[in-house]
Amino acid sequence: MPTSLHNTAALISLVCLSLNAHADDTIDLDDATREKCLTVLRSGLHGNDFWPSIHAAEGLTLGGYEEEVIAFLTPKLPNEKDDQRRCGISRELVRAGRRSNAAVMLSILEGADDYGHVHAAESLYKIVEVGDGIAMRRAFHQEENLRLKLMAAAALGRCGNPEAMSVLRSMLQHQDPEILRIAAWILGRIGDSSDIPRLRKELPRCEEELLRAYLHHSLASLGDKGGLIALAANLKNADGAVRTYAATFAGDARSGNLAGVLQQMLDDPHPDAAIRAAQTLLVLSRPATPDPREDVSVVVYPSTKQNPRYTEGSVLPLLDGTLLFAATEFKGTGSDFAEAHIVGRRSTDGGRTWDARRVLQQNTGGMNVMSVTLRRLPSGQVAMFYLQKNSHADLDLFVRFSSDETATFGDPVLVTADDGYHVVNNDRIVQLSSGRLLAPAASTPDVHKVNHFVSHCYLSDNNGRTWRGGSGSVDAPKRGAMEPEVIELTDGRVLMVVRTQMGFIGCSYSDDGGDTWTEMQSLGVKAPEAPATLRRIPATGDLLLVWNDTFTAGAGHGGKRTPLTAAISRDEGTSWQHVNNLESDSDRTYSYTSLVFDRDRAVMSYWDSGAGQGILSCRFRSLPVSWFYQ
């Protein structure tokens, strides 16, 4: 048989022999081959052709050589004027660990000049980032530019938007081959096994070779046997573009059995094909990336005899991708009035493992410091809010600022300047679209003598440097309106939800940025006397509520704080769907949730009770946003 056919047959046999191998198997890359891969990538990085240089940067980062990429690209970004190229440079800097550069792509996407919009959306999709989601959702809902809509759908779908995934799947039936190609390419990376028959169905109408290659390669990355065979054959295709895409998708498919062919491609006359072959060989020599559907659940702060209570946490993604998890460490007893300070631990692997704890805030109170909130401000600084408890009649909120990614913090700024006992729950500070910071507080003159709370906000219009109390408040029967949470609605109003003793979550509204409030009413959600957490999901714009979905009249606190439940609202809190339990062990309790969105995941912390009174550990939990839409 002709040589080309012989090579194809050999490749097909090789694939067939290895179809039962584990998809995440890594390959052993000898030193000579590794050095050749690096030579190819470094040559491409320093070459004169811009986009192959950017592709080489990607390959070096995926191979573990991020610092080389950062050193090479960082000085180029300030001098680059072309928005499409700025997207490429900033994207690879983010991929290499400089997450602050995502702001470049987000600003291009938001800008009036549409020249860079598609590149911005595509680049943000590739690094799994949507910012606050507003500009990306706007790009998704427009119809004038279908490529922009597709790339926005890719970014949103990857970050958990089910509607975006439906649109991507519908685009497989589009009559424009370019739209079909893009949709297939995206689904090969962020789809699932249900997309295999969808992609197969479109193959018969794909006469153009490159389009068929895209469908086959996406099928391969999803584990389809026919797609894997076609991908192997395409590594020897006469068309350099087909070889390039085959080499790229061999990494997505974890096709370690093709390492020999990829090594030959390091001498490919088509530069991008050699670059992608080098990238994939380095990728295959490293462990597979974690399953994006993984549920990461770890007790990061287990209670001990000396420290029986770890509670009221807050998690912050740092600019290098590290997660910082701060919590209150109590000493001796689990009482709210026991000695306590704030500690932190870091994770570089998405919360699976954590380093040793360090003290973030010493105990400067007569009793303790507790209830931490970590927030990143528009300036890039990190703000750490915490309560300082001096007595039953003296509880204040302070904030300190860090300009070095929480390595150090400046002097404390007092938020609550008035007398009294001001409870501000962990992970509660909110910044409105106007820039105003809101610190929602429940206040009483003396928690022992009065023990009735009214909720209100402290406001700052200069990024937390100075604060004033709002002029209005929210009250309720019995112990009052407690432990408030606030969120800005799409119509500009601010919604406050409060803990009550009424068997439901209370709510109130402000139309002046949190200064004054309407009379409390029911949110329409049953609950014990326990706090609720409310956030907006960037990828969808929907509200996410986390609370204890139970109530037992006459029981202490209205019943146990079990289960811990999540629900979605698509109508700004009027109704709730997709009600799912995060935790349901009736022998345990779960409360004081923190919640932040990090790329495609919802990152939480909450207390997880032990066997005895006041024995409380603090759990880290990370779930894909898509989990909440089950």
- Rounded Cα distance between 205 and 313, Å, is 54
pLDDT-based confidence at residue 25 (cuts at 50, 70, 90): confident
pLDDT-based confidence at residue 211 (cuts at 50, 70, 90): very high
Q: Report which DSSP code applies to 336.
A: T
What is the mean predicted confidence (pLDDT) over 55-74? 98
Q: Is the pLDDT of residue 332 over 60?
A: yes
Q: What is the pLDDT of residue 629?
A: 98
Residue 156: CB atoms within 10 Å: 30
What is the mean predicted confidence (pLDDT) over 130-144? 98
What is the mean predicted confidence (pLDDT) over 71-79? 97
Distance linking the first and last C-alpha atoms of the chain: 53
Q: Is the pLDDT of residue 16 over 50?
A: no
Q: CA torsion angle for 106, 109, 111, 116 (degrees, to 10)?
A: 120
pLDDT-based confidence at residue 12 (cuts at 50, 70, 90): very low
Rounded (to 5) percent helix, strand, coil in the chain: 35, 25, 40
SS3 for 124? helix
What is the mean predicted confidence (pLDDT) over 383-409? 98
Length of the chain: 630
Mean pLDDT of the chain, nearest integer:
95
pLDDT-based confidence at residue 6 (cuts at 50, 70, 90): very low
26: CB partners within 8 A, 6+ apart: 256, 284, 285, 286, 287, 288
pLDDT-based confidence at residue 613 (cuts at 50, 70, 90): confident
Q: What is the pLDDT of residue 7?
A: 41
Q: How far is CA 50 from the centre of its chain?
A: 30
pLDDT digits (tens, 9 = 90+) for 413-453: 999 999 999 999 999 999 999 999 999 999 999 999 999 99
Q: Is the pLDDT of residue 14 over 90?
A: no
* Dihedral sign for Cα atoms in the order 571, 576, 577, 583: positive
pLDDT digits (tens, 9 = 90+) for 36-58: 999 999 999 999 999 999 999 99
H-run or E-run covering 187: helix 177-190
pLDDT-based confidence at residue 556 (cuts at 50, 70, 90): confident
Q: Is the pLDDT of residue 94 over 60?
A: yes
Q: Output Rg (C-alpha) for the chain, integer angstroms.
A: 27
pLDDT digits (tens, 9 = 90+) for 251-288: 999 999 999 999 999 999 999 999 999 999 999 999 99
What is the mean predicted confidence (pLDDT) over 564-588? 97
Domains, the chain: 296-629 (2.120.10.10)
For the entire predicted model, the pTM comes to 0.94
Q: What is the pLDDT of residue 3?
A: 34
- Rounded Cα distance between 586 and 584, Å, is 6
